Structure 1
């Protein structure tokens, strides 16, 4: 079984920062960056779970929900990776999370 702790830990750290951020910072782009990341992780999970099917795009539930959306998307991807292990996919996802977390100013 693939250990996805690196992914969930990276997302948890970033999501905690998002939850603690003021609304003004979220609205200045942090929430949009996080939503784009959540959508990316969600699409990755769906492609592992249902190859060949068109992935559904996660809706925008607002700046205050984006941390939870990111967490859910990461958990979905972690579960998909447990059933269809791909170290490369896991490493790419962790790098994406870390890259966005560094880029976003909170």
Structure 2
């Protein structure tokens, strides 16, 4: 079993930050993205795609529900990935598609997700 608490806490903290941002900040550009909301949506889409891959499900479209929903989308995607990873045994390999980096150890997927949340948090500070 994996300790997914760092992912849950990081995703929740960043989601709360996005929920409290004013429109001007949400829509403000950051390096590589048209807006902070777009950066958060890209992260949420990545976390959701990882969760689906861990669960062995088919790829699905992750909708853009607008700048004011991105905090909630980020929280849901982070929790979904945490739930998918939590039950996997130590050393389990996850069959990620090449677009997500190819097959990886579940621990590496978890560490990468926590790092990605941190990178987005720093980018959108």
TM-score of the two chains, using structure 1 as the length reference: 0.91
Is 1:71 the counterpart of 2:75? The answer is yes
Is 1:32 the counterpart of 2:52? The answer is no
**Partner in structure 1 of residue 14 of structure 2:** 14
Q: Distance in 1 between matches of 2:41 and 2:117?
A: 11
- Could you list the structure 1 runs, at least 4 aligned residues long, displaced by more than 2 angstroms after superposition: none
Question: Are the aligned partners of 1:48 and 1:84 in contact in 2 as well (CA < 8 Å)?
Answer: no
**Partner in structure 2 of residue 103 of structure 1:** 123
Looking at CA atoms only, which structure, 1 or 2, has the larger radius of gyration?
2
- Larger RCO (alpha carbons 8 Å, 6+ apart): 1
Q: Distance in 2 between matches of 1:49 and 1:83?
A: 10
**Partner in structure 2 of residue 2 of structure 1:** 2
Encode CA deviations 1:26-49: one digit per residue, 9 max, x unaligned.
112111000000000000000010
Encode CA deviations 1:35-94: one digit per residue, 9 max, x unaligned.
00000000000001016x3x1121000111100000000111001101335111100000
Q: Distance in 1 between matches of 2:86 and 2:13?
A: 21
RMSD between aligned residues: 1.2
Gaps of 5+ in 1: none
Secondary structure, counterpart of 1:64 in structure 2: helix
Gaps of 5+ in 2: 29-34, 90-105
Secondary structure, counterpart of 2:60 in structure 1: coil
Q: Distance in 1 between matches of 2:51 and 2:43?
A: 12
**Alignment partner of 2:108 out of 88, 94, 104:** 88
Q: Distance in 2 between matches of 1:3 and 1:87?
A: 9
Q: Name the structure with the higher helix share.
A: 1
